[in-house]
Chains A and B, each alone.
Chain A
Amino acid sequence: MTRPLYFDNNATTFPAPEAVEAVLPLLGEFYGNPSSQHAFGQKVRHQLELARESVARLLNCKPAEVSFNSGATEGNNTAIYAALQARPDRKHIVTVKTEHSSVLEVARNLAGRGYRVTELNVDSAGHLDLDELKGEISGDTALVSVMWANNETGVIHPVGAIGDLAKQFGALVHVDAAQAAGKLKLDLAEEPAVDFLTISAHKFHGLKGCGALFVREGTGFEPLIRGGHHETGRRAGTENTLGIVALGAAADLARRKLDAHIEHMRKMRDRLERGLMAKCDDVTLNGDPVSRLPNTTNLGFACVDGEALLMMMDAENICATAGSACRSGSMEPSHVLKAMNVPLWAIHGSVRFCVSRYTTEDEVDALVEKVSAIVRRLREISPFGARSAPRQPTDAELEAHKAYFARA
C-alpha cells in the first residue's frame, strides 16, 4: 500500500524516527526488567528515568510528579477516581458535554452511584460559559474535569480561569491534555490550579499504548491499578519500556521545536482550510476559527453526505474522520457537534482534517485537489447540486432540532 495522504493526526500520528530509533536497543539486548535490582535491569530503569525527566521538561513540572501508564484513557480514569478519593466528603463532579468519552462515561457511570454530575454546555463555537460553571460549582464539588483542547474541533478551553474558579471552592482540577501535547505550550508551573493532567504518546509522534499522568505534589492519590510498587506505587505492572522510551524522545522533540512545529502546522492547516473553502462552495467551519489547536479544522460541506465523502476519500487513500460515526443501525452524530447545536444534516456532512509537523505543502495541495474534486463529483450526482447560498432551515426544522437537542 502506498503512503496515504494522512490527515487524521488527532486520531494518531506518525511515530517520529527519533522515537523509533530510541526504542530499537530495547527490542534487542536491553530487555531487563526495570524493577530488577541487578545492573542489567537498572540500565533500563535509567532509560525510564531519563524519559520521565523529558516529560517533566515538556510539562514544566517535577519528574516525581510524572507516572507512566497505558495512555490518556487510563490516565483520565485514574485521575477521576483518585480525585474523588482525595475529596471523600464531596459528591459533585463538573465536566463538559464535549469531553472525550474516557471522561464522560466515567462521570456518567459515577452519576448512577452516589455522585451528582454536571455536564456544562458549550456555545455554537464550542466554548463553555464560565458563568455557568460559577453557577454550578459549590463546596460539594470534588472535581472539575475539562480537556485542554477538543479532539474534534480543536477548540481550546481557558484552563487557567477554570482552575482559579475551582480552587475558590476547594475542588480538584483534572485536565485531559491528550490533544494539546505537542500542539500547545503546556506549562504547569504557570497553571498552578491544575492537579491532574493526562497525555498520550501516540498523539504526538510516540507509540501507541503509552501515556503519562501528572499528579501535582501534595495532591492525594490512590492508584487505579494495584499489585506492585512500580511507578512509586502509582501504577502497578511492569512498565511498557518501549513506549516510555519513545514517549521520552517524542517529548524532547515536541519541546525543543514547539514554536516551529506550531508555526508549521498552522501554515499547513490554514492552507488546507483556505484551499478547500476556495475550491468548494458552501463550506462552513465548525468551532472557533481563532482559539483552537494549530493543526485541526472541522469542515461542514453543505449537501454532501459525510460517509460518501469519506468512502470516496478512502478509495483515493486519503485519511480523515467524519462528523458521524457509523454504528449498528444508523449514523451516530458526533456528541461534540451536537452539543454545539450544529444541525443534524450539517453534522452528517462534516469532516475533520488534522495536519502534523510532518505534513508537507505538496500533501496539502494534493488533498485540496482530490477532496474538492470529490465534493464536486458528489454534488454533481446530487439532485440538490451546489447551492450558491446555504439553505436556511425551515421553522419546522428548527423546532424539530430544538426538541432534538432538548433531549440530547
Chain B
Amino acid sequence: MTTVTDKVRDHFINPRNVGEMADATVVGEVGSLASGQALKLYLKIGADERIEAASFKVFGSPQAIAASSALTEMLKGKPVDDAARITADDIAAYLGGLPPEKMHACVIAMEALEAAYARFRGIALDNEGEEDLHHSVCRCYSVPEHKIERAIRDHNLTHVYQVTHYTTAGGGCGSCHVDIMQIIDRVRAEMAPAKPATRPAPALAGATGNVSNLQKMQLIQEVLDREIRPGLAMDGGDMELVDVQGNQVFVRLHGHCNSCSSSSATMKFFVQDRLREMVDPNLEVIDTTEHSAELHAPPMR
C-alpha cells in the first residue's frame, strides 16, 4: 500500500460530508465502475451564489475518498465562481501533497466540481456521455481522449507515465501507450504552435523503411529517453543504450534496476515490446548487464 500523509489518512478514515443531498442545487457526476473511480458531488448554492453546503458519494482508492472529502471542505462558504477555479493541485496541496501516481484522485474531484459548475451555469460540457467504451483511448480503464488531452494541458505533461498518474489511462495492459504518446505530441504541438517541437517525435513501426543504423540508433535512444528511462528513474534506476548492430539492441541496466521487483528479464521484454512497437518490429533487445544469476546459468548451445 502507498504510504499516505496524516491528512489523507484522516479524510479517508473519517470522510467529511458524505452522502446524498436531497435539496442540492446541482449535482456533478463523473467516472464509472469500469474506470475504477467515480464521484458524485452535491452542491447547495444560495441566492448570493455562495456554496452553502457540499456533499459527495465516491467509489475509488483511499486517495479518491480523501480528495472528495477535502474538496467538500474547501467549497463550503465559497462564492461559486471562486470555487470553480479550484484545481487538482489545490486539492492535493490541501491534503498535504499526494504522490504523483495518485494525482488522478484529485483530477476526478476537480472534474466533478467542473461538471457541477457547468450544470449550474447551464454550460454544456463536451465530455458528457464519456462512458462509450469504443471512444476510449485506454480501454482497460475507459479513459476518453479529451480527458487525456486536458490533463496534458493543465499539468504540462510530457510522458506517458505522467498521463497514467493523472488520468489512470495506460495503467492496464499498456496497449494504448503509443496512442497516448501521439496525443502528447499533438497537444504539445498545439500548445506551442509557433515553436517547432524541440525533439522530433519517434517514427512509428512500419514507417522506418530505409533508415541508416545511425538514424535507427537515434530513434531507439529517443524512445528510451522518452518512454523508458523516466519510469526507471522513479525507481532509482536507469538504462543505457550500449550499441545497435542490425536489429540487435544492446542495453545495460544501472542503479536499482538489478534489484527491483521487476527482474531484468521482465524489463528486457518490456523495452523490447516498446521498441518493436515504436521503431522496428524486428528489433531484439540484448541485456548486457552482468547479473549474478547469469554466472550460474547452464551453458547455452
Query: Once the chains are docked, how many angstroms separate the CA of A396 from the CA of B139?
Result: 9
A window 218-277: CB within 8 A of B = 222, 224-225
Query: Once the chains are docked, how many angstroms separate the CA of A311 from the CA of B10?
Result: 12
Q: Please give the number of chain A residues whose Cβ is less than 8 angstroms from any Cβ of chain B in the complex.
A: 52
The contact string, 1 if C-beta is below 8 Å from chain B, for chain A 298-339, is 000001010110111011000000000011111101000000
- CB < 8 Å A-B pair total: 137
- Closest Cβ of chain A to B239, distance in Å, is 16
B window 115-136: CB within 8 A of A = 132-134, 136
| Most interface-central of A84, A101, A112, A330 (chain B CB within 10 A) | A330
The contact string, 1 if C-beta is below 8 Å from chain A, for chain B 239-277, is 000000000000000000000010111101100000000
B window 37-71: CB within 8 A of A = 37-40, 57-62, 64-65
Say whether B300 faces chain A, with CB atoms less than 8 Å apart.
yes
Is the Cβ of B140 less than 8 Å from the Cβ of A308? Answer: no
Q: Report A-chain residues with C-beta under 8 Å of the C-beta of B164.
A: 329-330
- Closest Cβ of chain A to B234, distance in Å, is 5
Say whether B194 faces chain A, with CB atoms less than 8 Å apart.
no
- Closest Cβ of chain B to A206, distance in Å, is 24
Query: Once the chains are docked, how many angstroms separate the CA of A111 from the CA of B284?
Result: 13
**Which of B90-98, B169-177, B216-224 is the contact stretch?**
B169-177
Q: Report B-chain residues with C-beta under 8 Å of the C-beta of A314.
A: 1
**Which of B77-85, B185-193, B203-211, B290-298 is the contact stretch?**
B290-298
Query: Once the chains are docked, how many angstroms separate the CA of A314 from the CA of B172?
Result: 26
Q: Report A-chain residues with C-beta under 8 Å of the C-beta of B33.
A: 303, 345, 384, 391
Given A81-B297, A326-B1, A397-B133, do A305 and B265 touch, yes or no (CB 8 Å)? no
Q: Report B-chain residues with C-beta under 8 Å of the C-beta of A225.
A: 296
The contact string, 1 if C-beta is below 8 Å from chain A, for chain B 18-44, is 100000000001000110111110000
Q: Report A-chain residues with C-beta under 8 Å of the C-beta of B170.
A: 330
Main secondary structure of the interface of B (DSSP, over half): mixed
B window 154-212: CB within 8 A of A = 161, 164-165, 168, 170-173, 175
Say whether A344 faces chain B, with CB atoms less than 8 Å apart.
yes
Is the Cβ of A397 less than 8 Å from the Cβ of B62? Answer: no
Is the Cβ of B34 less than 8 Å from the Cβ of A345? Answer: yes
- Closest Cβ of chain A to B44, distance in Å, is 18
Is the Cβ of A108 less than 8 Å from the Cβ of B59? Answer: no
Q: Report A-chain residues with C-beta under 8 Å of the C-beta of B132.
A: 396
Query: Once the chains are docked, how many angstroms separate the CA of A77 from the CA of B297?
Result: 10
Say whether A373 faces chain B, with CB atoms less than 8 Å apart.
no
Query: Once the chains are docked, how many angstroms separate the CA of A383 from the CA of B21?
Result: 12
Query: Once the chains are docked, how many angstroms separate the CA of A114 from the CA of B29?
Result: 54
Say whether B281 faces chain A, with CB atoms less than 8 Å apart.
no
Is the Cβ of A308 less than 8 Å from the Cβ of B60? Answer: yes
Q: Please give the number of chain B residues whose Cβ is less than 8 angstroms from any Cβ of chain A in the complex.
A: 59
Is the Cβ of A404 less than 8 Å from the Cβ of B173? Answer: yes
Is the Cβ of A326 less than 8 Å from the Cβ of B2? Answer: yes
Query: Once the chains are docked, how many angstroms separate the CA of A193 from the CA of B190?
Result: 65
Is the Cβ of B301 less than 8 Å from the Cβ of A330? Answer: no
Query: Once the chains are docked, how many angstroms separate the CA of A303 from the CA of B33?
Result: 7
Chain A, residue nearest B170 (CB): A330
Is the Cβ of A383 less than 8 Å from the Cβ of B38? Answer: yes
The contact string, 1 if C-beta is below 8 Å from chain B, for chain A 274-295, is 0000000000000000000000
Q: Report A-chain residues with C-beta under 8 Å of the C-beta of B136.
A: 400
- Closest Cβ of chain A to B248, distance in Å, is 12
Is the Cβ of A382 less than 8 Å from the Cβ of B57? Answer: yes
Query: Once the chains are docked, how many angstroms separate the CA of A222 from the CA of B295?
Result: 13
Which one of B34, B37, B61, B268 lies within 8 Å of A112 (CB-CB)?
B268
The contact string, 1 if C-beta is below 8 Å from chain A, for chain B 136-161, is 10011110000000000000000001
Given A105-B263, A311-B1, do A329 and B171 touch, yes or no (CB 8 Å)? yes
Say whether A407 faces chain B, with CB atoms less than 8 Å apart.
yes
Is the Cβ of A407 less than 8 Å from the Cβ of B175? Answer: yes
Q: Report B-chain residues with C-beta under 8 Å of the C-beta of A315.
A: 9, 13
Q: Report B-chain residues with C-beta under 8 Å of the C-beta of A391.
A: 33
Q: Report B-chain residues with C-beta under 8 Å of the C-beta of A310.
A: 1
A window 388-408: CB within 8 A of B = 391, 394, 396-397, 399-400, 403-404, 407-408
Query: Once the chains are docked, how many angstroms separate the CA of A289 from the CA of B133?
Result: 33
Chain A, residue nearest B4 (CB): A311
Which one of A326, A333, A384, A394 lies within 8 Å of B38 (CB-CB)?
A384
Query: Once the chains are docked, how many angstroms separate the CA of A30 from the CA of B136?
Result: 66
Q: Report B-chain residues with C-beta under 8 Å of the C-beta of A85.
A: 298
B interface residue numbers (CB < 8 A to A): 1-2, 4, 9, 12-13, 15, 18, 29, 33-34, 36-40, 57-62, 64-65, 101, 132-134, 136, 139-142, 161, 164-165, 168, 170-173, 175, 231, 234-235, 261, 263-266, 268-269, 287, 293, 296-298, 300-301
The 4 closest A-B pairs by CB, nearest first: A330-B171, A109-B265, A114-B300, A396-B133
Given contacts A308-B12, A383-B58, 8 further A-B contacts (CB under 8 A): A84-B298, A109-B265, A112-B287, A113-B300, A305-B61, A311-B1, A328-B101, A404-B173
A-B contacts, 20 of them at CB < 8 A, read A77-B293, A81-B298, A113-B297, A305-B36, A305-B60, A308-B61, A311-B4, A328-B101, A331-B36, A344-B141, A345-B34, A345-B36, A381-B15, A381-B58, A382-B58, A384-B33, A394-B133, A400-B136, A403-B175, A407-B173
